Every structure is written in C-alpha cells, then in structure tokens.
Amino acid sequence: MRTFILLLIFTPLLAQAEDICRDKDAKAAGDEKALSYFRQKGEIFHPARVQKVHHPSRFKEVASYVRYGDKHYTIFTLVNTDCVAHFRKRTRQGD
C-alpha cells in the first residue's frame, strides 16, 4: 500500500521530466536559431548558457554568443519544451 501511494505521488513528476527539453538540447537549438540570422559568416565564440527557466511553462531562456566579422552579439532565445527556439532579443557586446 505504501509503495502504491508513493507511486501515485511521483508518477506526475516523472512524466513531467520527460516533457522538458534538456539544457544541452536547448543550447543547441538556441545556437542554431542565433546563427540563422547571420547567414554563413557567423560563428559561435562562446558556449551558450541557459539563463533561466520560466515557471510554470518550463521554457528556457538561452543566451548564444555569436561573432560576425569583428562584431560580437548576444542572441537571446526562448526555447519551449519541444526544443523549438523563438527569438527574443539581440544585444551587441562592447567591442
């Protein structure tokens, strides 16, 4: 009986964990979306970072760092639970 109750408690948490895009996949989706704005000349110069996870949607805000020529940009994307990135904003780093 005790095992059954614990199973009922933790089953929704396990199901929810499978619906979330992993950080590694979210970073890759963010980098891919960021590079799509710079044709073929853009390159990633620093690993992407997951800045925060929005609650309760579980969307992740990812910062990607792109070099285009001699300019450096940070591209922020919002990655949903299906690992699809949506553009949020672009900032130019002081260079």
Output the pTM of the full model. 0.76
Q: What is the pLDDT of residue 14?
A: 45
Residue (of 62, 73, 59) closest to 24 by Cα position? 62
What are the residue boundaries of the structural domains of the chain, listed by start?
Answer: 21-92
- Length of the chain (residues): 95
pLDDT at 41 over 80: yes
CATH among 3.90.1070, 3.30.1120, 2.60.40, 3.10.450 for 21-92? 3.10.450
DSSP structure string for 6-75: HHHHHHHHHHHHHHSPPHHHHHHHHHHHHHGGGTTT-EEEEEEEEEEE-TTT--EEEEEEEEETTEEEEE
